[in-house]
Structure 1
Amino acid sequence: MSRVLFVVPPLAGHVHPLVGVAAVAGERGHEVAWVGPCPVVRDLVGGRVYPAGSTAWRRPGGLRAFAALRFLWAGFLVPLADAMVPGVRAAVADFDPDVVVVDQQAFAGALVAQEVGLPWVTSASTSAELADPLAGMPRVAAWVREQQRGLRVRHGVEGDDDLRFSPYSVVVFSTVELAGEPVVAVADPRYVGPSLAARRPVEFPWARLRPDTPVVLVTLGTTNSEAGGRFLAECALALGDFPAVQGVVVDPGGCLAASGDVVVVASAPVLDLLPLTAAVICHGGHNTVCETLAHGVPLVVAPIRDDQPALADQVVAAGAGLRLRFDHARAEDITAALRTVLTDPAFTRGATRVRTSFHQAGGAHAVVSRLEDLIAPSR
């Protein structure tokens, strides 16, 4: 039996794909543990969890472009790594893993794995970084490298390679059919498709869904409730123009009041709803996009920031949906885009092509097989 340690940030979208990987690892006889900020990580994964770092961060509203990138690095990723390093070191010392799986935004895992000489794999919960989004912005790219250099200096870990990409392997929870070939030169990229695992039950008013009526699901993920009130309200208005479908709007911030036939909930069992869904309107979060396409469902994507514009472009390029401007889309724009993806079979065909590639990619089993390849020479 080998030991696998997962190092993750306090972000559900980054943790969920690895829950499926951990489950398969356990089924194949490996011992699994996690390390990350608690109680968030403990609530998401259960099992053996070592605390590391803090969840005391909050993104200011209205950040876009470089301001959003600067906050992501200087206001979140780097402080998170600084805070997590002691806990990750303690976890490695106590659990003594054979291999470490490091989320691409949990730099502490990469630092400690390099420090002690453990093989480690990057979990690329989003494929956007492999498209080299900073290629046309050399000063910004240099600033990002400097942020990583500062981390190494503060924690006494030598090297100058990019902490986002393991020199052993980078596991990407997508496929080339959606994400395209990697632009960044990384070691052994493995495109495995989404890793879908059962999640904790979420209360949902199933009785409010009309029988035999397809659903249109609207969700902006778990971290965009404050920014999304206006957009969610416009979506609710647009859904009133489609009597042949029933809208479900996920509104964790409580911005909307229930109205007519549209079901408004604070959270939803997305994986349970998707088999009933004809289209999804979302922000372009990687998990939402991939979970939707794994069910062959087309999308209307209104990206907000970070990797979301790149994901929206991937959806459009794959012929699996349309893109809207988040800050400017009105009900009539949403209505037009939704009508198009619901009535033009080309979008369902595009979503189906991506779904087929996902099913062939191997998912969590492919990830565990790669981990076993790394473990074998070291045992």
Structure 2
Amino acid sequence: MSGFLFVVPPLVGHINPTVGVAAELAARGHRVAWACADPALVRRLAGPQAVVLPCAGPAPAVRPPELRGPEALKYLWEGYLLPLADAMAPGVRAAVGRFRPDVVVADQQAFAGALVAERLGLPWATSATTSAELTGAYHGTPRIADWIRERLRALRARVGDPAGDTDPRFSPHLLLAFSTPELAGPSAARGDHIHYVGPSIADRPAATGFPWEWLDPGRATVLVTLGTANADVGGRFLAECVSALRERADVAQAVVTDPGGTLRRSGDDKDVLVLPSVPQLPLLQRAGAVVCHAGHNTVCEALWHGVPLVVAPIRDDQPVVAAQVTGAGAGVRVRFGRVTAARLGAALDAVLHEPAHRAAAARLSAAFRAAGGAPAAAVHLGRLAADARPEESR
């Protein structure tokens, strides 16, 4: 039996993929704990039984909605990721001392997990909840890559081993990518220690109150979602989606997630259902299409179910993920900031009625399922722990 400490940022999209992996490890008899700045969020996603060792951390960055491209990336790093690492590092060190893990599983954006493990001489694995940085996304912009390296070098001097030189985003021991080359594309990084395990799809705490009887089996259900971190910028886009879908009410009905409360809600609307949150995985089993921001989790969960997409990337890794979707033929891309109901309608018509997009989504679904998901990730982590044990104790 080995011990695994998951170090994650307090972000739903970064915790969810690891929940199934942690459950698999626990089912195999291993000890599992979490280090996170929001223990309540981990327990909400992983279950109340989750062992969570708290760390300090800033609130998620609320970026000005007009920021895009390099400016948005700079704000993310300087406004959130680097302060998060500085704040988490003491708590991660304390968690290691208390839990005594054999392996640290560090989210790709929870730099403190990797740097503390390196400093303490512990093997660590990277949990890559998006494949964007594994595809050379910044190779064409060396100034951005150099800027990131400088920031990580300074961070290592503060919280890691000054003599170390490993990029904390990429473990040299084990890197688990929750995607597959079929989606990530031919430029995806390869190596003996890199394993594309596909999405980690696991049961989540049961959601109550969704009106399943509202769904009309005679029409395609279209899920519209911008994830959990874009409520501040999504009002106009959601309104255009609603307009496009109302024009197609004879063939489709919409379920729209609107956590910011920007849309009017009507209890007797038979064509558009607006809710602050939805049980996404069960809903995807019934969906005919998804309109989203190209968030990696939403994209992979849709494609796991063979559902084609309309993607409207906003920032961060989303343009890269959107390009992966369209490159694989599983969806259509629209411009988030300028799209109209007419353009959204045309994109929806394509993914709902052109068989090529659904065939591509089905192909990616088969590749995802063959990759092994959470059980495969647990096997790789178990091997890393076994290899790290002294030979006489194996």
TM-score (norm 1): 0.97
What's the counterpart of residue 81 of structure 1? Answer: 85
Structure-2 separation of matches of 1:148 and 1:115? 15
Aligned 1:211-250 pairs, distance under 5 A:
211-242=217-248, 243-250=250-257
Matched letter for residue 197 of structure 1: A
Closer/same/farther in 2, CA of residues 126 and 166 from structure 1, 3 Å limit: same
What's the counterpart of residue 251 of structure 1? Answer: 258
What is the root-mean-square deviation in Å for CA atoms of aligned residues?
1.4
The DSSP-based 3-state class of the residue aligned with 2:366 is helix
How far residue 14 of structure 1 moved from its aligned partner, in angstroms, is 0.7
- Output one character per residue of 1:239-284: Cα deviation in whole Å (capped at 9) or x when no partner: 0122211110100000001264200000000101011100000000
Structure-2 separation of matches of 1:156 and 1:355? 39
Count of residues in correspondence between the two structures: 379
The DSSP-based 3-state class of the residue aligned with 2:29 is coil
Aligned counterpart for 2:174 among listed residues 169, 174, 181: 169
- Output one character per residue of 1:4-55: Cα deviation in whole Å (capped at 9) or x when no partner: 1100001101110100001110111111100011233343334100011224
TM-score (norm 2): 0.93
Matched letter for residue 314 of structure 2: I
- Output one character per residue of 1:312-335: Cα deviation in whole Å (capped at 9) or x when no partner: 000001110000000011100000
Aligned 1:150-165 pairs, distance under 5 A:
150-158=154-162, 159-165=164-170
The DSSP-based 3-state class of the residue aligned with 1:263 is strand
The DSSP-based 3-state class of the residue aligned with 1:279 is strand
Unaligned runs of 5+ in 1: none
How far residue 357 of structure 1 moved from its aligned partner, in angstroms, is 0.3
Unaligned runs of 5+ in 2: 390-394
Matched letter for residue 21 of structure 1: V
Structure-2 separation of matches of 1:198 and 1:66? 36
Matched letter for residue 13 of structure 2: G
What's the counterpart of residue 392 of structure 2? Answer: none
- Output one character per residue of 1:287-312: Cα deviation in whole Å (capped at 9) or x when no partner: 00000000011000000000000000
Structure-1 separation of matches of 2:19 and 2:140? 35
The DSSP-based 3-state class of the residue aligned with 1:170 is strand
Aligned 1:1-379 pairs, distance under 5 A:
1-38=1-38, 39-45=40-46, 46=48, 47-60=50-63, 61-158=65-162, 159-184=164-189, 188-202=193-207, 203-242=209-248, 243-258=250-265, 260=269, 261-379=271-389
- Output one character per residue of 1:68-104: Cα deviation in whole Å (capped at 9) or x when no partner: 1001111111000000000000000010001111100
Q: Is the 8 A contact 2:199 2:368 kept in 1?
A: yes
Q: Is the 8 A contact 2:222 2:291 kept in 1?
A: yes
Runs (4+) of structure 1 exceeding 6 A deviation are none
Structure-1 separation of matches of 2:2 and 2:316? 36
